[in-house]
Amino acid sequence: MLTKIVPFVLSFFCLFVYCLPVTAQEAVELSVEEKVMSVAGRFAEVHSIDFMGIPLRLSPAEFVSALREKGFSPFNGGAEDSKERILLIGDFAGVHDCKVEIYVIDGMIWKVCVMFPDDKFWMSVKERYSEFKKRYSQLHGEPASCEESLSKKYREGSDLERWGFENGYSRWRSRYDRTDGSIVLEIRFNPCSENLYLSADYIDRVRSLYKTTLELDDL
């Protein structure tokens, strides 16, 4: 119980302290990352979440270089990359041709999403979801939250089960909370290919908090 409460309290206090006014001298002397990490450091030592053993606290260039050493390459020759988003393709956990999307804000990585290959068969995607849910549960314990629901009309095993999912009548999602971030495993629908795919988001706690803080500043 305590392990679930501590991360929540830490996030709340980080957000509160980060929103406090700083002097002009502090604003000049501290970089964006230093501000984020100094806030977290007032309450606890917070490490960035890892993806494939690579910490998200690395710069985008360093992170991409580390992934390339593991066999990943730019997707579509890097044509779809931008300052906020970098897309690679490679093998993940024994599955070939997985896309890895790196999300960047102010030069910091706040989330990495791995997208498994598209699949037109609903049951095979569900089986992959169940397989990886079991793997993540072995590593991180039971999910902090889990949504695996179908309305009675589109109950499991029904011919309309996939149609019900695509139209928002069900959701298959498990979230694993850690002190350094969260991992979200989810079945998604690709409107371009009209197929399904499994994804796993690796969300860094401190850097995603910084992103949320910037969004709140816009309100």
Q: Which of 36-40, 49-53, 89-93, 153-157 has the lowest mean pLDDT?
A: 36-40
CA–CA separation, 165 vs 147, rounded Å? 12
Write down the domain spans for the chain: 122-203
208 contacts 103 by C-beta, under 8 angstroms: no
Most confident of 42-51, 77-86, 99-108, 156-165: 99-108
Higher pLDDT residue, 90 or 217? 90
- Average pLDDT of the residues in 96-107: 95
Query: Tell me, what's the pLDDT at 129?
Result: 96
The predicted structure's pLDDT at residue 170: 82
Tokens found for residue 58 = 């690395």
Helix orientation angle between 205-217 and 2-18, rounded to the nearest 10 degrees: 40
